[in-house]
């Protein structure tokens, strides 16, 4: 039943359709006439045109005799209106600046390189922002651009404007750009081989030397990653994750970028690979135009025109830059004067937050710490600091792969969309939040799980709306390194942030109220008193299994707390996995015989043992929350397994009634189980990806019908079996169905739901057909509703 067409074993994903965009190199080539005009342009004319333009503005002048490009004229900006000249040598088929040993096969490549990397120049070349807006369609206009009118004189406002508007639709993965643009990849290692990276140590102030070694190391790593160059090119619009909090903190605090970078993570000053990077000061002739330069740690680093437009925050920052000595050779891609944040709408700026790298599982621990109240942070031990270092390292590792940034970018974009006035997504999110909050905690007769199902289906339709945005599609297109499941998870996460976060506290209250109403919480508490004295063996574990010791139990409690604090069900599951890992660790570390590997026979009792020492009420709420709100596709795999086990264990505790007649519970228990499974299967197909879902909706409707019919059948079957159970004649069949072990006979029978006689199989088929029809109606109705949203 393939709905996707298979291409070499992978599935074509609708939103991965690539769209035709021009690379910066193509864009530059397209308007070469503007920045490298032919006769009658000469040095004088170029100088007078450049004079007074912001630093980095440039023109290339051709030799009047040979018509070969001969001179690069660069404005240094500032009051002096100086224009620097660099001779261009063209030998055979390559171009190079006469002072540099780097050569390029065409002029655009040279310009592109020097727009990223200063090398022998005093200042990086600045490429006007509007060039990014050039697409296939309007590229023809490029050749008609005038050097003075358009290349050098584009008003800053217009640029900013265009950027703001064009940005979303043209965001593209830097990696892709790199891969289509081999030039940048080739140049950089060459440069490093030529010059080494010793130069990094030159001209560094004493204050920064502490951080330097790691820096160098990092730059070495950077030099071998594939992303930096393209990232530099592309990230004029792409905001680096690593820099973002810093940038934001500057805006809010007014501190200089440099100071901010130094003070942002005071604890980590001596630790290697601090994601916010380290300040390197770059020498410059014109200190006013030379902002402090920070080694960029992220592969995706931000840069913009050095000082274009006095109204940009950049120029303000530059005022704070301290004058620094100059050293002859620099590569600017690790510096940050030219990589400063472009002037962008403030809505794009996220406040500095723990979510810096929270998307990587490895950083969850850290996130928890940052979420902890400040009192707790006083306990920060060396051990924790070490952890932190590890997490940061891994975060940097991911940043180098560009993944974190991509994730962050998506999350930011979704956030922005949710705030965009009048946008359909923003409206829907707003409506959803309002509707959800309007619902009283008592839920007016709806059960807690029904309510959560509504929430889940609203989330699913919000996601549909979201995926309808071409800019989101483009962004997802650009993420090439993640599996489909990971991308789905990512989309979910971004959605949680805008839609679930505002309502999570209310959802907790609703679940709480509903679980009070159905008596679960009370049963949990009373059974807790019965069971809490039980050793793990008494809960069924085999002899010799260890349990977490008191200190790791304490850590587990902390994790439960962070699990509750996390609003995203996906994050909750991640934390749950960490708890389970600790439990496994406790099982084997404290086991009587070393080297035993424990399966579910021992894990479930052990988890139960841990739960009996935890806040069962909160755990029940969190479990319900995850169960109902997780996208069903996320319920697969390891996360799904351990969530099921958590649910099962809580269920075991709440349904534990040693002296109760078994049959009564069975009704309740089976009902609950069936409800639960039904919900899961009901949702199972709703999570399919946007376009596919549209096209296969009818088909799915049928599938779901049949699927649910099965569930329904089962529930009927079981409710049938409950009746049967009550009749004494049938009790025999129950025992026959499952010979109970002597140890647990009384309780064992409470679950004899297997007493169904085989002959009723045909009955259940009939029931199945009926329920299929019923389900189909409900489902289609549900879909219509969804579409309306």
Partner 1 sequence: MSSRGSGGRSNGTLPQTKICQFKLVLLGDMAVGKSSLVLRFVKGQFDEFQETTIGAAFLAQSVCLDDTTVKFEIWDTAGQERYHSLAPMYYRGAQAAIVVFDITKPETFERAKAWVKELQRQASPNIVIALAGNKADLAEKRLVEYEEAQTYAEDTGLLFMETSAKTAMNVNELFLAIAKKMPKTDTQNPTHAARHRGVNLQDPDAHSTRACCGGN
- Using CB under 8 A, which residues numbered 529 to 568 contact partner 1? 540, 542
H helix intervals, 468-566? 470-478, 484-495, 504-517, 520-531, 550-565
Q: Provide the Cα torsion 44, 47, 51, 56; round to 10°.
A: 180
Site string for partner 1, 570-589 (x = CB under 8 A): x--xx--x--xx--x-----
Residue with Cβ nearer partner 1 (77 or 605)? 605
**Residue 773 makes contact with partner 1 by CB under 8 A:** no
Contact between residue 563 and residue 574 where contact means Cβ atoms under 8 Å apart: no
DSSP-assigned letter for residue 330: B
Q: Provide the Cα torsion 75, 81, 82, 83; round to 10°.
A: 40
- Residue 88's DSSP bridge partners are 97
**Residue 416 makes contact with partner 1 by CB under 8 A:** no
Phi first, then psi: give them for residue 126, nearest 5 degrees.
-115, 130
Would you list the DSSP string of 669-726?
A: HHHHHHHHHHHHHHHHTTT--HHHHHHTHHHHHHHHHHHHHHHHHHHHHHHHHHHHHH
Residue with Cβ nearer partner 1 (373 or 739)? 739
Among 422, 595, 758, 788, binds partner 1 (CB under 8 A): 758
Distance between CA 94 and CA 102 in Å, rounded? Answer: 10
Among 327, 710, 778, 786, binds partner 1 (CB under 8 A): 710
Work out how close the CB of 650 gets to partner 1 at its nearest, in angstroms, rounded to a whole number. 10
Residue with Cβ nearer partner 1 (240 or 568)? 568
Per-residue b or e along 495-508, where b marks 16 or more CB atoms closer than 10 Å to that residue's CB: bbbbbbebbbebbb
**Residue 719 makes contact with partner 1 by CB under 8 A:** no
Q: Give Cα 664 distance to the centre of its chain.
A: 47
- Residue 91's DSSP bridge partners are 94
DSSP-assigned letter for residue 540: T
- Residue 126: how many other CB atoms lie within 10 Å: 24
CA angle 670, 673, 675 (to 5 degrees): 105
Among 663, 747, 774, 776, binds partner 1 (CB under 8 A): 747
**Residue 651 makes contact with partner 1 by CB under 8 A:** yes
**Residues in CB range of 671: below 8 A, 6 or more apart:** 715, 719
Site string for partner 1, 452-491 (x = CB under 8 A): -------------------------------xxxx-xx--
**Residue 624 makes contact with partner 1 by CB under 8 A:** no
Work out how close the CB of 704 gets to partner 1 at its nearest, in angstroms, rounded to a whole number. 8
From the list 92-100, 383-391, 497-505, 708-716, the region that binds partner 1 by CB under 8 A is 708-716
Among 131, 399, 452, 684, binds partner 1 (CB under 8 A): 684
Residue with Cβ nearer partner 1 (226 or 747)? 747
Residue with Cβ nearer partner 1 (40 or 758)? 758
**Residues in CB range of 723: below 8 A, 6 or more apart:** none
**Residue 625 makes contact with partner 1 by CB under 8 A:** no
**Interface of this chain with partner 1, residues 663 to 682, rule: CB under 8 A:** 669, 673, 676-677, 680-681
**Residue 434 makes contact with partner 1 by CB under 8 A:** no
| Total residues belonging to the chain | 789
**Interface of this chain with partner 1, residues 348 to 407, rule: CB under 8 A:** none
Work out how close the CB of 152 gets to partner 1 at its nearest, in angstroms, rounded to a whole number. 47
Residue with Cβ nearer partner 1 (25 or 629)? 629
**Residue 410 makes contact with partner 1 by CB under 8 A:** no
- Residue 345: how many other CB atoms lie within 10 Å: 12
From the list 30-38, 524-532, 552-560, 647-655, the region that binds partner 1 by CB under 8 A is 647-655
Would you list the DSSP string of 620-677?
A: HHHHHHHHHHS-GGGGSHHHHHHHHHHHHHHHHHHT--TTS-HHHHHHHHHHHHHHHH
From the list 143-151, 214-222, 263-271, 743-751, the region that binds partner 1 by CB under 8 A is 743-751
Among 405, 562, 687, 771, binds partner 1 (CB under 8 A): 687
Work out how close the CB of 289 gets to partner 1 at its nearest, in angstroms, rounded to a whole number. 46
Work out how close the CB of 143 gets to partner 1 at its nearest, in angstroms, rounded to a whole number. 41
**Residue 688 makes contact with partner 1 by CB under 8 A:** yes
Among 51, 393, 591, 738, binds partner 1 (CB under 8 A): 738
Query: Total residues at the site for partner 1 (CB under 8 A)?
Result: 81
**Residue 272 makes contact with partner 1 by CB under 8 A:** no
Which residue, 229, 37, 233, is CA-closest to 132?
Answer: 233
Consecutive H or E run containing 104: strand 103-104
**Interface of this chain with partner 1, residues 1 to 40, rule: CB under 8 A:** 1-2, 4, 6, 8-11
Residue with Cβ nearer partner 1 (341 or 634)? 634
**Residues in CB range of 311: below 8 A, 6 or more apart:** 156, 157, 343
Among 272, 641, 668, 731, binds partner 1 (CB under 8 A): 641
**Interface of this chain with partner 1, residues 597 to 616, rule: CB under 8 A:** 597-601, 603-605
Q: Give Cα 618 distance to the centre of its chain.
A: 27
Work out how close the CB of 600 gets to partner 1 at its nearest, in angstroms, rounded to a whole number. 4
Distance between CA 361 and CA 404 in Å, rounded? Answer: 11
Distance between CA 71 and CA 43 in Å, rounded? Answer: 8
Consecutive H or E run containing 87: strand 83-91
Phi-psi region of 78 (alpha: psi -120 to 50; beta: other; left: phi over 0): left
Distance between CA 674 and CA 715 in Å, rounded? Answer: 6
**Residues in CB range of 691: below 8 A, 6 or more apart:** 14, 15, 467
Among 371, 645, 675, 730, binds partner 1 (CB under 8 A): 645
**Residue 703 makes contact with partner 1 by CB under 8 A:** yes
From the list 57-65, 115-123, 131-139, 704-712, the region that binds partner 1 by CB under 8 A is 704-712
Work out how close the CB of 673 gets to partner 1 at its nearest, in angstroms, rounded to a whole number. 6
Work out how close the CB of 587 gets to partner 1 at its nearest, in angstroms, rounded to a whole number. 8
CA angle 372, 374, 379 (to 5 degrees): 85
From the list 313-321, 347-355, 596-604, 774-782, the region that binds partner 1 by CB under 8 A is 596-604
Among 644, 730, 786, 789, binds partner 1 (CB under 8 A): 644
Among 633, 654, 767, 771, binds partner 1 (CB under 8 A): 633
Contact between residue 127 and residue 28 where contact means Cβ atoms under 8 Å apart: yes
Residue with Cβ nearer partner 1 (208 or 675)? 675
Work out how close the CB of 391 gets to partner 1 at its nearest, in angstroms, rounded to a whole number. 18
**Interface of this chain with partner 1, residues 208 to 267, rule: CB under 8 A:** none
Contact between residue 603 and residue 486 where contact means Cβ atoms under 8 Å apart: no
**Residue 741 makes contact with partner 1 by CB under 8 A:** yes
Determine the 3-state secondary structure of 182 from DSSP.
helix
**Residue 739 makes contact with partner 1 by CB under 8 A:** yes
**Residue 737 makes contact with partner 1 by CB under 8 A:** yes
């Amino acid at each position: 039943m393939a709905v996707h067409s298979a291409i070499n074993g992978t599935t074509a994903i609708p939103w991965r359709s690539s769209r035709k965009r021009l690379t910066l190199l193509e864009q530059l080539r397209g308007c070469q006439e503007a920045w490298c005009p032919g006769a009658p342009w000469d040095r004088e004319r170029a100088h007078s045109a450049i004079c007074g333009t912001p630093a980095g503005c440039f023109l290339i002048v051709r030799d009047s005799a040979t018509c070969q490009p001969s001179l690069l004229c660069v404005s240094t900006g500032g009051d002096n209106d100086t224009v620097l000249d660099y001779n261009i040598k063209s030998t055979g088929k390559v171009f190079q600046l006469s002072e540099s040993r780097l050569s390029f096969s065409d002029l655009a490549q040279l310009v592109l390189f020097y727009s990223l990397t200063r090398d022998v120049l005093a200042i990086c070349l600045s490429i006007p922002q509007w060039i990014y807006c050039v697409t296939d369609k309007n590229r023809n206009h490029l050749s008609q651009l005038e050097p003075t009118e358009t290349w050098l004189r584009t008003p800053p406002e217009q640029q900013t404007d265009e950027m703001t508007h064009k940005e979303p639709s043209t965001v593209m993965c830097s990696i892709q750009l790199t891969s289509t643009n081999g030039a940048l990849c080739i140049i950089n290692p060459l440069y490093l081989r030529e010059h080494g990276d010793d130069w990094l140590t030159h001209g560094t102030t004493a204050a920064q030397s502490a951080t330097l070694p790691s820096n160098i190391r990092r730059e070495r790593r950077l030099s071998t990653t594939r992303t930096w160059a393209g990232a530099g090119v592309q990230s004029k619009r792409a905001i680096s994750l690593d820099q973002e909090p810093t940038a934001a903190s500057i805006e809010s605090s007014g501190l200089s970028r440099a100071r901010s970078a130094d003070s942002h993570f005071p604890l980590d000053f001596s630790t290697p690979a601090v994601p916010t990077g380290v300040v390197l000061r770059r020498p410059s002739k014109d200190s006013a135009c030379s902002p402090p330069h920070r080694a960029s740690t992220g592969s995706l680093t931000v840069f913009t025109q050095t000082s274009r437009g006095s109204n940009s925050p950049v120029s303000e920052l530059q005022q704070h830059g301290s004058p620094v000595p100059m050293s002859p050779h620099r590569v600017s891609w690790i510096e940050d004067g030219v990589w400063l944040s472009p002037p962008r709408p403030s809505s794009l700026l996220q406040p500095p937050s723990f979510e810096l790298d929270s998307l990587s599982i490895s950083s969850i621990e850290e996130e928890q710490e940052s979420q902890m109240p400040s009192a707790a942070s006083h306990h920060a031990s060396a051990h924790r600091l070490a952890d932190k270092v590890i997490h940061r390292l891994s975060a940097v590792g991911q940043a180098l792969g560009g993944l974190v940034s991509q994730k962050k970018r998506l999350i930011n974009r979704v956030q922005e969309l949710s705030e965009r006035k009048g946008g359909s997504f923003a409206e829907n999110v707003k409506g959803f939040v309002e509707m959800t909050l309007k619902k009283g905690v008592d839920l007016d007769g709806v059960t807690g799980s029904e309510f959560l199902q509504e929430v889940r289906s609203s989330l699913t339709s919000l996601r549909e709306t979201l995926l309808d945005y071409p800019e989101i599609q483009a962004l997802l297109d650009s993420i090439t390194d993640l599996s489909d499941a990971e991308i789905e998870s990512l989309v979910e996460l971004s959605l949680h942030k805008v839609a679930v976060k505002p309502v999570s506290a209310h959802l907790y209250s609703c679940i709480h109220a509903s679980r009070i109403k159905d008596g679960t919480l009370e049963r949990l508490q009373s059974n807790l008193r019965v069971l809490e004295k039980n050793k793990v063996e008494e809960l069924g574990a085999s002899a010799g299994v260890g349990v977490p010791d008191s200190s790791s139990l304490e850590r587990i409690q902390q994790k439960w707390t962070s699990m509750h604090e996390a609003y995203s069900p996906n994050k909750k599951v991640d934390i749950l996995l960490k708890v389970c890992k600790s439990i496994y660790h406790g099982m084997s570390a404290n086991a009587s015989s070393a080297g035993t590997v424990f399966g579910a026979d021992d894990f479930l009792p052990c988890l139960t043992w841990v739960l009996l020492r935890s806040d069962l009420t909160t755990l029940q709420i969190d479990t319900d929350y995850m169960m109902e709100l997780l996208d069903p596709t996320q319920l697969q795999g390891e996360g799904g397994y351990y969530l099921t086990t958590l649910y099962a264990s809580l269920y075991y505790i709440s349904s534990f009634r040693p002296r109760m007649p078994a049959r009564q519970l069975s009704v309740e228990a089976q009902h609950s189980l069936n409800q639960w499974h039904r919900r899961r299967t009901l949702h199972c197909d709703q999570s399919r990806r946007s376009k596919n879902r549209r096209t296969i909706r009818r088909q799915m409707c049928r599938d779901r019908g049949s699927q649910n019919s099965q569930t329904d059948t089962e529930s009927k079957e079981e409710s049938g079996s409950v009746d049967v159970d009550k009749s004494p004649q049938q009790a025999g069949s129950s025992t026959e169905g499952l010979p109970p072990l002597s140890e647990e006979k009384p309780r064992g029978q409470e679950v004899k739901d297997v007493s169904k006689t085989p002959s009723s199989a045909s009955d259940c088929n009939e029931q199945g057909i009926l329920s299929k029809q019923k389900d189909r109606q409900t489902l289609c109705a549900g879909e219509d509703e969804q579409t309306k949203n």
